[in-house]
Amino acid sequence: MKITTFSPLVVTNNIDKNVRLFEALGFKAAHKQNPEANIYDFTMKDADGHQIDIAKANVEQDLTLIRMNVSDFDEAFEMLQEQGFVLKSGRVIETESSRSAMVVSPTGFAFDLCQHKK
């Protein structure tokens, strides 16, 4: 399994407040998706190369996950299931550009497992 990126991810209802917080900490938006399509997902980086992702979703309170982008979704998903991880939402989300799923460990921490389509 090849991991292509590995970084913290904050999932929030209040994306603007969280983006402003990380801007105050020296982060700048390096990538953001299409707000016209109601997709709000920011990748922010600081001058030292540290990265954080912030995504908008309908959640009761902010969630902190680990975003793990991989080259082979199926291989990574199978390996995590063998380690006891389960789908949080019960489904894999597939878009034109990616496959992703929130998987939770037996002890409670979560990955946003993602493969970007080429």
Mean pLDDT for the chain?
A: 89
Which tens digit of pLDDT belongs to each residue from 68-80? 999 999 999 999 9
Phi, psi of 92 (to 5 degrees): -95, 135
Judge contact between 19 and 42, C-beta under 8 A.
Answer: yes
Bridge pairing between strands 3-12 and 51-56: parallel
Asked whether residue 36 carries a pLDDT value surpassing 80, the answer given is no
Question: Which positions ≥6 away from 83 have C-beta within 8 Å?
Answer: 105
Which tens digit of pLDDT belongs to each residue from 58-105? 889 999 999 999 999 999 999 999 999 999 878 898 888 889 999 999
The pLDDT value given to residue 37 = 44
Torsion over CA: 30, 74, 117, 104 (sign): negative
The pLDDT value given to residue 116 = 87
